[in-house]
Structure 1
């Protein structure tokens, strides 16, 4: 029996086209809502009388728990089904948003906006959703399928950021959080077509999760891929969390900040789809290296250029091309090397490194600003990390792992 859903007789609600559509919209809601949190940094910090580090630390905790939970939610989805995992996560997402707007102390905002939302995003984001999508497509089409999902997910950033800023302007930040939380409840019905779990047996699976994990831990390319993904998390979370306040500090409007991140999301549609398409044709680690080198150059040019609305929108557009374009390629490399049987778990472990980087990007941005009154140190650290990530992805061997017949 083949592992691809596409090769089976399926009810209409589980055909590949609907699987990829629902998966993409789930990512749109989950990642798009999460992208709006930077809009609330100034309002929440000001209304509560906190420094920026408090809310930045809550977002950092959110990212680290997202990463810590990701291998486990991936393994749960592999074993018990993606739909169940995503449904629970969608409910937890809405509850976390409600509780976050009601938080009044640093501990409460850390628990609700950090811990609870981190768990919710872990079960409704890339590793779980893309693993479910992978089972609907043959290996040669997975990279493109991942690119399509990530591209559509990027529209969440483009649509929900202006919507979130509009909610804040019209109703205040607390009501805005509630309205965005209500939208996340749509994740629950959208999860149904992703029902199903990975199956054992066949040449595309390891004998057990322990064997799969051991294979990954002994694979040099897996560790290099994991190290590069750390930098991706640092970049996107630092920029997503602190760019709005960086621009406001420089005299630009809140609307400019929201539209800058929205432009990132819009151009990420092109970047993610393009990266997924290229990943099906060319050596994937070289594509990843080009993305990271490109980020380093773009950030350096932006910091060295006099700040203006025009320079910010140009930066946002070019950075958007490189934003989540790492996701389809990185996930495809893991699937290409190890197969899809434990893709949720193995991609989740790689993603944990991404979230360690996210933790540091969010927290260091707030900490160093409070200490120095400037984001310059973190901007230049981002450049150095981009160059390092570009270098370590170059030697990755992404050929399918050869297994002994008993293991295969």
Structure 2
């Protein structure tokens, strides 16, 4: 952030809007992981019934994020984000009435998936990057920490609600949290595609999506973000159920996601700050090295202590790539098509997240254990480290060269 003067009020409002949008944004996805086991037991379903809905959500939101990113380059961010919030509130709120697996596919997988894209990291990242061109990493780390803090606070509250009055009420409260965002979005988010003089500070030259796709750098990033999504959404969907299967109490297991959110809060702030100083490559490599260690731990030992250590260590890496996405895209391909390119990368991340969530459910239903899934996640993290070691940052003298 600028050190010589106070931030303009418009910039403060942008930070607040981005922070609270992401604060609420992740709560719906996490609510499904939190309620997975009680829903299955109450409705007499298989875990794959909900895992398939999470997979559909990941694919739908992923595709929608690409289009949301393209729209963020062209239309009113206020309209885009507010529309996403309203659609999210409807889809997640109606989850409290489901009685058949196809209801979850429709409400969570399709409707919530589309709405989620409008108020997620690609659109918020574009808004913040335009406002803070000199400190993009830290500013995006700050707003992404809203997602982590939301995971800490909202999930802790929802875990208590789940124990007291049941899983259906969880979804009503998540819908209410989305609707509460609307006044802030109206007053804080710019009504136009830019942000006045603040946006003018950010250069808008850069490669098109088609030009970027011709570079090796682009495909390395696509592959690394695919692995990241595979890991992220496997863990957030199945960690609570895995802990309960291992003998941990329901309340303690539910709060594991909240603890992960606390660790993620620290992780995204550190990643954003270091990303501004060193570039995004080193924080990304460090993140995957930690994942290799914590997946290996659970393959060796599934005790309560090991699960708690896993939660903290993985939490430090969870969401780390979110503030780094705009840094990778800005440094490699420029600002002109930041929304479209970052939206596509996020689309791949979430698509593979759906694969991770669904594969975890299928593997458990087939084997009664998550061991094979944890081994796959470990191997994929090793692959991500190898790919990042091959990544070649652009030459300093060529802002958008391949």
Question: Does the 8 Å CA contact 1:268/1:320 hold for their aligned counterparts?
Answer: yes
Q: Which runs of 5+ in 2 are unaligned?
A: 1-6
Q: CA RMSD in A?
A: 2.4
From 285, 290, 303, the counterpart of 2:286: 290
Match of 1:117 in 2: 112
In 1: Cα distance, 2:330 partner to 2:276 partner: 12
Match of 2:121 in 1: 126
1:1-400 equivalences under 5 Å are 12=9, 15-138=10-133, 140-192=134-186, 193-195=188-190, 196-198=192-194, 204-206=203-205, 212-308=208-304, 310-399=305-394
Number of equivalent positions: 392
In 2: Cα distance, 1:250 partner to 1:306 partner: 7
- Aligned pair in 2 of structure 1 residues 203, 240: CA closer, same or farther (>3 Å)? closer
Partner deviation per Cα, 1:98-121 (whole Å, 9 max, x = no partner): 222222222221011111111111
Question: Does the 8 Å CA contact 2:30/2:236 hold for their aligned counterparts?
Answer: yes
Match of 1:3 in 2: none
In 1: Cα distance, 2:54 partner to 2:364 partner: 16
Match of 1:5 in 2: none
Q: Which moved more, 1:315-324 or 1:381-390?
A: 315-324
> Please, what TM-score do these two structures have when normalized by structure 2?
0.92
In 1: Cα distance, 2:171 partner to 2:34 partner: 11
Q: Which moved more, 1:338-347 or 1:315-324?
A: 338-347
- Aligned pair in 2 of structure 1 residues 201, 258: CA closer, same or farther (>3 Å)? closer
- Aligned pair in 2 of structure 1 residues 401, 292: CA closer, same or farther (>3 Å)? farther
Partner deviation per Cα, 1:328-352 (whole Å, 9 max, x = no partner): 1222111222223321111010011
Deviation at 1:201, TM superposition (A): 9.9
Q: Which runs of 5+ in 1 are unaligned?
A: 1-9
In 2: Cα distance, 1:303 partner to 1:190 partner: 45
> Please, what TM-score do these two structures have when normalized by structure 1?
0.90
Question: Does the 8 Å CA contact 2:163/2:251 hold for their aligned counterparts?
Answer: no
